[in-house]
């Protein structure tokens, strides 16, 4: 693996873990506080539940968008590399070329 790909891979892994942790903690907060005693319009817990729901909705959209870009990018890279590697790995024997002198 080249030196350029290592930081990008680490950053992608850290970002994925960050999104998963945020989503899990937001879900846990909603589950724990769903039966709280509401104080009315100025209830801080209800406000935090709304914030957590917004985070979950936006995180899901971000993950879907990131996944789509990742899959399409990897598909393009694999397509280009497979095309390039097909020329590199071809030998006269693999192409079944007969050299007559």
Tokens of 61: 């959209």
The verdict on pTM exceeding 0.85 is no
Q: How far apart are CA 81 and CA 60, in angstroms?
A: 31
pLDDT class of 1 with cuts at 50, 70, 90: very low
Quick check: helix, strand or coil at residue 15?
Answer: helix
pLDDT for 12 beyond 70: yes
Residue whose token pair is 């393009």 = 76
Distances in Å between the Cα of 5 and the Cα atoms of 8, 12, 37, 66 are: 5, 10, 51, 18
pLDDT class of 5 with cuts at 50, 70, 90: low
- What are the pLDDT digits (tens) for 15-73? 778 877 887 888 888 888 888 888 888 888 889 888 888 888 877 777 777 777 777 77
Report pLDDT for 82. Answer: 64
């Amino acid at each position: 693996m080249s030196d350029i790909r290592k930081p990008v891979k680490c950053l992608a892994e850290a970002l994925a873990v960050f999104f998963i942790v945020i989503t899990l903690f937001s879900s846990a907060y909603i589950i724990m506080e769903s039966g709280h005693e509401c104080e009315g319009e100025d209830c801080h817990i209800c406000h935090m539940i709304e914030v957590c729901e917004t985070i979950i909705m936006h995180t899901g959209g971000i993950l879907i968008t990131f996944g789509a870009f990742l899959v399409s990018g990897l598909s393009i890279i694999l397509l280009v590399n497979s095309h390039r590697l097909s020329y590199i790995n071809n030998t006269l024997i693999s192409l079944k070329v007969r050299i007559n002198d």
